[in-house]
Amino acid sequence: MTHELSETPGAGPDMSASGHPSRRPRRNKVPEVTAYFWIIKVLCTTVGETAADLLNEKAGLGLTGVSVLMSALLAVVLVVQFRTSAYRAGVYWLAVALISVVGTLISDNLTDNMGVPLETTTSVFAVLLAVTFVVWYRRERTLSIHSIDTTGREAYYWLAVLFTFALGTAGGDLVSERMDLGYPLAAVLFALAIAAVAIAYFALGLDAVWSFWIAYVLTRPLGASIGDYLSQPGGDGGLGLGTVVTSGLFLAVILGLVAYLAVTRKDVTDPARVTRRAA
């Protein structure tokens, strides 16, 4: 792995109209990766699993109808996200929560409605994610999440996020079904996999970009396992809290954390540091 994936090679200061370097720092459109980031991410993936089940069961629209509805809502929120000039915690995490639901529904539609095997959907989403990274890097010469400061980079970022949720759903279901682990053991397995990625990053020097995206994929089945364990009936290996209680509980925690971050701005990227990284 080279650090070219994480940094923008050869990039210099922005040029002003007069041809002189501009000192105006670029604004990153995504949050810094902190402990808050990963906590909210796992909570959003849990909501993605339970909310998809809740809407499918209670709304009476079926998987296809719910998928259309949630995709439309996601499109509206992404328009708002793209129109913002900088990272806004509320808008960003609402987009993540919705994309977690949509990614889950895409995978479920292919498997449940169209009968596509999990092996196939997992492989297809893995390829689509890989292609996204290849095109992103060829066009931008960086995959750094510290410089999501153009429309193009933001588009690649959200496309990658969508495919990670779909891949995490299909891959997580495949592993859980093939190994017949049960919800608690599945959660432990995926948590250990994330811990292994963290060790590889901190102790073995695994590239920061690959570490981030591998962990991002793995948090999806982790959150889903937690959500299923809490919401599913006792006879199915869960605690029987139900999708309404589980979704409401996790949404409340997400709202509290996002409100805290919106006020404290603890996860806002320092523009000067982004400029130094790109210099």
User: Do residues 47 and 166 make contact, with C-beta atoms less than 8 angstroms apart?
Assistant: no
Q: Is 39 left (phi over 0), alpha (psi -120 to 50) or beta?
A: alpha
- In eight-state DSSP terms, residue 18 is T
pLDDT tens digit sequence for 97-119: 999 889 888 988 899 889 999 99
- The pLDDT tens digits along the chain (279 residues) read 333 354 444 343 343 333 443 344 468 999 999 999 999 999 998 887 777 777 777 766 777 888 888 899 999 999 999 999 999 999 999 999 999 889 888 988 899 889 999 999 999 999 999 999 999 999 998 888 888 999 999 999 999 999 999 998 898 888 877 778 888 898 999 999 999 999 999 999 999 999 999 999 999 899 888 888 888 888 878 898 888 888 889 999 999 999 999 999 999 976 655 544 544
Query: Could you tell me the pTM of the whole model?
Result: 0.85
Q: What is the pLDDT of residue 104?
A: 85
Instruction: Please answer whether residues 266 and 36 qualify as being in contact, where contact means their C-beta atoms are separated by less than 8 angstroms.
Output: yes
Rounded Cα distance between 46 and 245, Å, is 12
pLDDT, position 53: 73
Between helices 35-58 and 62-83, what is the axis angle to 10°? 140
